[in-house]
């Protein structure tokens, strides 16, 4: 009886651990890879994945959370339309060996957007707060 109880407890622990695990996303190979993964995840509503390519500071986390809330407020039809949109008018500006700016529009709303990708400790990450700077 004691062994059965221990076996059940072990199964419950394994089950709980597997439910709480998060995905491991591959590191971006370069700035364009990071931008593509972040943008693609964002327009498809996969904010866990977008977060994996985000420079982790409080402002960036807050902005990504706000974008997720805007996305969730859309109707299912709008979310589907956004997820099926394509990127257009893509331009890439290499500011330095560690900074790249990617400008683009999506085919759904044709609004100009930009993301800045930086290399931190040999990892390419999106500095999302740059996207909201009106002076750039």
Q: Please report where in the chains the tokens 């930086």 appear, as a residue.
A: 118
Task: Let me know if residue 14 belongs to a domain.
Answer: no
Domain count, the chain: 1
For 35-81, what is each residue's pLDDT tens digit? 999 999 999 999 999 999 999 999 999 999 999 999 999 999 999 99
Which pTM value belongs to this model? 0.80
For 71-96, what is each residue's pLDDT tens digit? 999 999 999 999 999 888 899 999 99
Q: Compute CA 61 distance to the chain's CA centroid, rounded to the nearest angstrom.
A: 10
Helix (H) or strand (E) holding 123: strand 123-127
**What's residue 87's pLDDT?**
87
- Average per-residue pLDDT for the chain: 87
Is the Cβ–Cβ distance between 91 and 103 less than 8 Å? yes
Question: Cα(53)–Cα(127) distance, rounded to whole angstroms?
Answer: 9
Residue 92's DSSP bridge partners are 102
Cβ neighbours of residue 61 closer than 8 Å, sequence gap 6 or more: 51, 54
| Residue 132, CA distances (Å) to 1, 15, 59, 68 in order | 61, 41, 11, 15
Residue 32 neighbours by CB distance under 10 Å: 16
Task: Let me know if residue 61 belongs to a domain.
Answer: yes
Task: Let me know if residue 11 belongs to a domain.
Answer: no
CATH number at residue 86: 3.10.450.50
E-only strand ranges, 21-122:
87-96, 99-106, 113-120
Residue 127 neighbours by CB distance under 10 Å: 18
Task: Let me know if residue 19 belongs to a domain.
Answer: no
Task: Let me know if residue 58 belongs to a domain.
Answer: yes
> Which structural domain, as residue segments, surrounds residue 122?
26-131
Tokens (6 digits) for 78: 């709008």
Task: Let me know if residue 34 belongs to a domain.
Answer: yes
Task: Let me know if residue 77 belongs to a domain.
Answer: yes
Task: Let me know if residue 64 belongs to a domain.
Answer: yes
């Amino acid at each position: 009886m004691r062994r059965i109880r221990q076996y059940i407890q072990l199964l419950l622990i394994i089950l709980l651990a597997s439910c709480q695990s998060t995905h491991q996303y591959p590191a971006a190979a370069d700035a364009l890879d990071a931008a593509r993964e972040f943008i693609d995840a964002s327009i498809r509503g996969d904010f866990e994945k977008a977060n994996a390519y985000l420079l982790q500071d409080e402002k960036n986390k807050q902005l990504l959370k706000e974008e997720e809330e805007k996305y969730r407020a859309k109707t299912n039809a709008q979310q589907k339309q956004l997820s099926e949109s394509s990127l257009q008018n893509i331009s890439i500006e290499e500011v330095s060996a560690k900074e790249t700016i990617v400008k683009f529009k999506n085919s759904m709303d044709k609004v100009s957007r930009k993301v800045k990708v930086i290399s931190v400790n040999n990892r390419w990450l999106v500095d999302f707060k740059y996207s909201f700077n009106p002076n750039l």
